[in-house]
A = this chain, B = another copy of it.
């Protein structure tokens, strides 16, 4: 891979997402995204939801378009979600597992991008372990290509942020009065970042980020959030509690957290810890879950859990985003 340019400031990244008419062309980050646009996308996503057990929404708005899933990091659920979103809108979907092929041959990311561009791919859905890659790509593609960030290092996962706030909106009245607690490995979580940004834009009442001290975020990255290492306090009277996945191999190396049992006891979302939240608080998790580590299995499967709803919303959000960038292209 060629050297990646130093990242420019995030505001620049946010404005990079819009075309000259202010229409969404790329989705790179939720940071700095206009509140009205964000709400429009949630409303669009609602339009792609159907009753449970019924067939999914379908249209042909992307017929003739090509969507490439370019995953430089392995993924089942996000890749499948974009794959289905593209197919249900009539697009041709190209799935590229880039680990096993181009990168082995030493081709640069940009050359892979230029190749797909030359094949008249319209939308590239990119997941990468390095910060800045989606914006870097977006700065280099031709006018008619859209880049969607499907997971970027610890930095950003904007469609996850959208599906999270959509799920909250479906269950709670207004963001202003809500206390949302996100619990777990905040420092390494692109989900925490994107969801926090969306909640902030939507004017959430209180945003609490709870983790062992060594996994706390840089406070500057989440202005306005309450950062805490005390689960009981952090979760108190919360309306929404979101557990984050923790990589098992990290646990043994955490200060004061010698093992899984200690992690679960101190930071696990369980029936017991949920006693401190509001009685009608909902439980979320971006998946894939480590049951018995960051979340109690029976809680994840119980009536307070909206975890599978998040997944359903994920497809709808991705359809809404694909449709929107498709319309931006068509209007050019």
Q: A interface vs B, CB < 8 Å? A: 2, 50, 52-53, 55-56, 58, 64-66, 68, 74-77, 80-81, 83-84, 87-88, 92, 94, 96, 98, 100-102, 104-108, 111-112, 114-120, 122, 142-144, 248, 287-291, 297, 308-312, 314-315, 332
Contacts and interface: CB of A to CB of B under 8 A. Distances in A.
Contacts of A291: 2, 108, 111
A146 to B, nearest CB: 13
A112 B311 contact: no
A115 B58 contact: no
Nearest to A81: B119
Contacts of A310: 118
Contact of A92 (B87, B120, B248): B87
Contacts of A289: 107-108, 111
A101 B79 CA distance: 11
A240 to B, nearest CB: 19
B88 A118 contact: no
A16 to B, nearest CB: 19
Number of copies: 3
Contacts of A118: 308-312
B64 A116 contact: no
B92 A75 contact: no
Given A84-B94, A111-B289, A118-B311, 8 more contacts: A2-B291, A66-B84, A80-B96, A84-B92, A106-B288, A111-B287, A119-B312, A119-B315
B53 A117 contact: no
A75 B297 CA distance: 32
Given A53-B143, A84-B66, A115 B290 contact: no
A1 to B, nearest CB: 11
The listed residue with most B CB atoms (<10 A of its CB), out of A75, A81, A115, A332, is A115
A80 B288 contact: no
A117 B287 CA distance: 14
A330 B233 CA distance: 49
8 contacts: A50-B120, A56-B66, A56-B120, A76-B98, A80-B115, A80-B119, A106-B248, A118-B309
A104 B74 CA distance: 10
B288 A111 contact: yes
Contacts of A84: 66, 92, 94, 119-120
Contacts of A248: 106
Given A56-B120, A106-B248, A144-B53, A311 B76 contact: no
